[in-house]
Amino acid sequence: MPIPSAASIIIVNTNDGKYIEQCLESLVNAGGYHEIIVVDHASTDGSPERIEARFPGVRLVRAGENLGFAGGNNLGARAATGDLIVLFNPDAFATPGWIEKLSAAFADDGVAVASPKVYRGLPGKSTTIDSAGCDLEFPLGEGPPRGYLEPDTGQFESRADVAYCSGAVFAIRREVYAELGGLDETFFCYAEESDLCWRARMRGLRCVYEPAALCYHIGSANFGARSPRKLHFQTRNRIRTCLQNYSLPNAMLFALYELVHGACVIAATLLLPDYRPLGIAYARAWVAAASSCGTILRTRAIRQRERTRSDREVLALHRRVGLRATFARYRRFAGANAPSLFNPAARLPE
């Protein structure tokens, strides 16, 4: 595959006026792109009008309704003309030269997706890592970012193959995005990027972390860290991803682990008032996943038929984390009153 030469940057705006103008300013100042497309989800905070006034070079696509992260980005990708699709969160910020450095990762024909080093916070005000690529855990499919909230001491200075690239900022070859059908719109939001990268690797393509490129990211700007709605989407979509992408033996193993794991943590939250709303959201996610069983089975059949790599090859990048370690992590989070029991990247109070 040729090296992409024109990057189309896509940003989905859903009343993100707090950060999106600063986001766009950083991208315009950094340069190196072919076009910037903002897909607006019928925002009522005045941000679409301000974007049109301040950034006449930005293409504004008005969706008319909230299509979710997946649907909005897919709409932007259909409107894009570049050979590299870059998904960029409205609370993320670019640095000079980042896109050229990220594009260099695609000199290898086997690389389909790439993500930069991402710091947590505002530009120039942090060297705390938000992500240096991301892990996936076997068998439960949790997806913690590598190095999350660690100080950057040079521990992630080498380009590396990763299980997936963070949805805060990542680039993908246009032809691969189209071949995979883009992000799964039934997810609405959360876990779409890990699912997309998993599907790419099932076809023998690579996802890489490129440390030479740097961006910044606020994180959880819309939902907040302790949001039951956020947990609902994360859990439902994690279950769907695993059931659709694992081979049959591993899908069955996942289902067994998830039943034991979920039953235990839902029961435990009944005894922890601070986390009870999260436990309820987790249970509702189970119901939502079960109600979409037909869709899961149909999607699974397509993906398993189209894969070219076995689970043995694909799961080589997935960390093995058993139930004992998972429950120990929950115990530690609960003891420290962390924002979430269910996110392996949840921040522990200092």
**Residue-wise pLDDT tens digits, 193-226:** 999 999 999 999 999 999 999 999 998 656 656 6
Closest-CA residue to 116 (of 7, 198, 205, 231): 7
Residue 266 within any structural domain of the chain:
yes
Domain range enclosing 319: 228-335
The answer to whether residue 93 scores a pLDDT higher than 90 is yes
The answer to whether residue 37 scores a pLDDT higher than 70 is yes
pLDDT at residue 270 in the model = 84
Beta-carbon count within 10 A of 276 CB: 14
β-bridge partners, 84:
7, 173
% pLDDT > 70, the chain: 97
The answer to whether residue 76 scores a pLDDT higher than 70 is yes
Q: What is the pLDDT of residues 263-316, one digit of tens each?
A: 988 888 888 888 899 899 999 999 999 999 999 999 999 999 999 999 999 999
Residue 291 within any structural domain of the chain:
yes
- pLDDT band per the 50, 70, 90 thresholds, residue 57: very high
Residue 324 within any structural domain of the chain:
yes
pLDDT at residue 69 in the model = 94
Query: Residue length, the chain?
Result: 350
Closest-CA residue to 13 (of 86, 88, 93): 88
What is residue 110's three-state secondary structure?
coil
Of 13-17, 44-48, 93-97, 217-221, where does mean pLDDT reach its minimum? 217-221
Across all residues in the chain, what is the average pLDDT?
A: 93
Does a cis peptide bond (omega within 30 degrees of 0) precede residue 56?
no
% pLDDT > 90, the chain: 80
- pLDDT band per the 50, 70, 90 thresholds, residue 174: very high
Beta-carbon count within 10 A of 91 CB: 21
Residue 53 within any structural domain of the chain:
no
Please say whether the beta carbons of 243 and 303 come within 8 A: no
Q: What is the mean pLDDT of residues 153-182?
A: 97
Residue 91 within any structural domain of the chain:
no
Closest-CA residue to 279 (of 228, 327, 230): 228
Q: What is the mean pLDDT of residues 13-26?
A: 94
- Strands of the chain, DSSP E: 7-13, 35-40, 59-62, 84-88, 92-94, 111-120, 129-131, 137-138, 160-161, 169-173, 206-217, 319-320
Residue 253 within any structural domain of the chain:
yes
pLDDT at residue 80 in the model = 97
- Separation of alpha carbons 8 and 87, rounded Å: 9
- Separation of alpha carbons 29 and 161, rounded Å: 29
Q: What is the pLDDT of residues 307-350, one digit of tens each?
A: 999 999 999 999 999 888 888 888 888 888 877 777 777 766 65
pLDDT at residue 323 in the model = 87
Please say whether the beta carbons of 112 and 172 come within 8 A: yes
Non-local (6+) Cβ contacts of 306 within 8 A are: 202, 203
- DSSP string of 122-148? STTS--BEEESSB--EETT---PBTTT
> How close are the terminal C-alpha atoms of the chain, in Å?
47
- Tally the domains of the chain: 1
